[in-house]
Amino acid sequence: MHPRNLYRQQAPNFRQLAAKYEDFRKFTSFAPSGHVRLNFYDPEAVRCLATTLLKEDFKLDVHLPSDALVPRIPARLNYILLIEDLLKSSGLATDVSGIDIGTGPSCIYPMLGSRQCGWNFLATEIDEASYNIASSNVQKNGLQDKIIVFPAQDGYILRDIMTTYRDANFTFTMCNPPFFDKDECESRFVPDSDADFKNTPGESAGSPSQRRRWGPASATKAKSKELYVSGGEVAFIERIIKESIIYQHRIKLFTTLVGKKKSLTPLKQILDDIDHVSFASHMILTGKTARWVLVWTFDPNVKVRTDMIVRPFTVPPVAHSPSAAFKKVCDFGGITLSKPINDAFFGYVDADCLKFRPWTFKPPIHVDADESPPLKRSRPSTMSIGILAKFNDDADAGNLCVAGDENTVDVDAESGEVGIQCCMSTISYRTDRKRYRFVAIPTAFDKINIEIQPSNEPGLRYFESTFRYADRNRSVFMDPNVATKCFVSSDPSHASRASDFWTGKGSL
């Protein structure tokens, strides 16, 4: 559970709830040990537990119809708290407005988000009966100033909202989509007289491979629209992703719940095909049930994780701004950048750039000046020996970057010259991604922070190698004879220092 989830700190006390709420008491019994227990195989007991927890812990009086899904309150709270963490890390914790796609009759996410975090919500629902109950729940709890329930149409997911509220911008979206397609739903659930479907708690249903797993631990009844959709959750979330491209400038952060881990790979592949987007997945665990939250954004200033790795870089001074120098370095290394959004950039390194063996050099060989140094072949190593390597500018295959192969090494004049033959052979390996992404955020005149997710570290190493070469070979990016003319600074003394800096005579 989320560290701030109140149910992680203390599980619901059934004895206290039974003493306080008569409706809840009739579903409880005493175990031989003396503890009060609840029959989770009874769908009405599960429904009563949800409404009782909402009353006790959130002061919410919510009607849950008998033919609809019962929200598991701890799990719903986990999703809310995860979004709150991401918004806080992005500096978006104030004046928050969210969209809940398919809110259901409980309108649970908007009511928890409004009561727990003070957020404003626009909640959509396509089922007319669920829409009416959700509106009634909002009115009954006095949240009509915080929550608008919107009657959506069964077609586009976001278009109706965005066209109706043309002048509105939103902080985030959230969604609990139908997890199954029709065939899978019918294999896991059975028809019910009160609702469209119900599960069989404690029993293993479905195909022989599915029967190897234990059955669900609690009863569930639901409408068909809550359980399945054509193509399952992957097809439904793909529709959200495609519409998010259209409305990327009006919504900061897109999120959705994912019910099956195997759905993450095709969804991430869809996002990986989109330029200039940052995405991540988060697992949320409630008891023994695991769910995942997929988040993505088109704004480089918005975080998709709270544990981003940050690497500061000092940019060489060139014309106009550090951003211009940064772009030159990235263009040189074949690194793609987006247009700046509030001075921040998206960037990515193609995964194909990283299919090489990380060759490094042996330590320099010291020979007398009158001897001819032997030809040495480099070998793979992880040892850093602190030497300066020059790149040629040929077009040989197997280059570390577009600059060329590393094929010469500077050594002390007293030791003579050492020739080194270097090659880089490609590695064939499987990867489920096309790009390693990062975010570049200028923080000072000549400083830029590179933010990456831990999974993108290979791209960071490639970026560092390109940047290190740029730092040692300034003439690639600028003619030192015109450095004083192009360098712009408020300090007049910087002009002469910049010229020495580019020609290697001094430093800034």
pLDDT tens digits along 285-324: 988 889 999 999 999 999 999 999 898 887 766 545 667 7
- The answer to whether residue 421 sits within a structural domain is no
Same domain? For 244 and 199 the reply is: yes
251 in a domain, yes or no?
yes
In a domain, 131, yes or no: yes
- pLDDT (0 to 100) of residue 114: 96
Given 230, 264, 297, the domain boundary residue is 297
Q: Is the pLDDT of residue 256 over 90?
A: yes
The predicted model gives 213-229 an average pLDDT of: 69
Q: How many Å apart are CA 26 and CA 355, to the nearest integer? A: 64
Read off the CATH number of the domain in which 270 is found.
Answer: 3.40.50.150
Are 214 and 338 part of one and the same domain?
Answer: no
Query: Is there a single domain that holds both residue 245 and residue 316?
Result: no
**pLDDT on residue 335:** 86
Specify the 3-state DSSP secondary structure of 420: strand
Q: Is residue 13 part of a domain?
A: yes
pLDDT tens sequence across 397-416: 333 433 333 444 444 444 44
Residues 12 and 138 in one domain: yes
Helices (H), 352-493: 457-472, 483-486
For residue 96, how far is the Cα from the chain centroid?
Answer: 19
User: Is pLDDT of 490 > 90?
Assistant: no
Q: Is 369 contained in some domain?
A: no
**What local confidence, expressed as pLDDT, does residue 195 receive?**
59
Alpha-carbon span 89 to 70, nearest angstrom: 31
d(CA 308, CA 374): 46
Q: State which amino acid sits at residue 138.
A: V
**Structural domain contains residue 283:** yes
Between 454 and 471, the higher pLDDT residue: 454
In terms of residue numbers, what domain contains 450? 309-354+430-477
Is 432 in contact with 269 (CB distance < 8 Å)?
Answer: yes
The verdict on 69 and 89 lying in the same domain is yes
Is the pLDDT at 440 greater than 50? The verdict is yes
pTM of the model: 0.77
Please indicate whether residue 192 or residue 332 has the higher confidence score (pLDDT).
332
If asked whether residues 292 and 314 sit together in one domain, one would say no
**Range of weakest confidence among 196-200, 285-289, 395-399, 416-420:** 395-399
* Whether residue 173 is found in the same domain as residue 126: yes
Considering its fold, how many domains does the chain have in total?
A: 2
Alpha helix positions (H), 176-276: 182-188, 208-211, 224-227, 232-246, 264-272
318 shares its domain with 231? no
Residue 494 domain flag = no
One domain for residues 327 and 247: no
- Arithmetic mean of pLDDT, 111-135: 94
Residues 262 and 322 in one domain: no
Structure tokens of 496?
């002469």
- pLDDT for 31 equals 81
The confidence band for 200, taking pLDDT boundaries of 50, 70 and 90, is: low
Please tell me the distance from the alpha carbon of residue 270 to that of residue 258, in angstroms, as a whole number: 15
- CATH (domain of 462): 3.30.530
Helix, strand, or coil here: 175?
A: strand
Kindly state whether residues 333 and 209 are assigned to the same domain. Answer: no
Does 359 map to a domain? Answer: no
Report residue 92 as tokens.
């978006």
Look at strands 170-175 and 97-101 and give their pairing.
parallel
* pLDDT at residue 484 in the model: 34
| From 24-33, 239-248, 313-322, 499-508, the region with the lowest mean pLDDT | 499-508
List Cα–Cα distances, 134 to 104, 149, 227, 493, in angstroms: 7, 7, 18, 67
If one compares 488 and 367, the residue with the highest pLDDT of the two is: 367
Same domain, yes or no: 291 and 313: no
Output the pLDDT for position 498: 40
Q: What is the pLDDT of residues 137-189, one digit of tens each?
A: 999 999 999 999 999 987 889 999 999 999 999 999 999 998 887 777 777 77
Structure tokens at 378: 């480099």
Q: Which of 1-5, 65-69, 247-251, 327-331 has the lowest mean pLDDT?
A: 327-331
Instruction: Specify the higher pLDDT residue, 402 or 59.
Output: 59
- In the structure, what pLDDT confidence band is assigned to residue 64 with cuts at 50, 70 and 90? very high
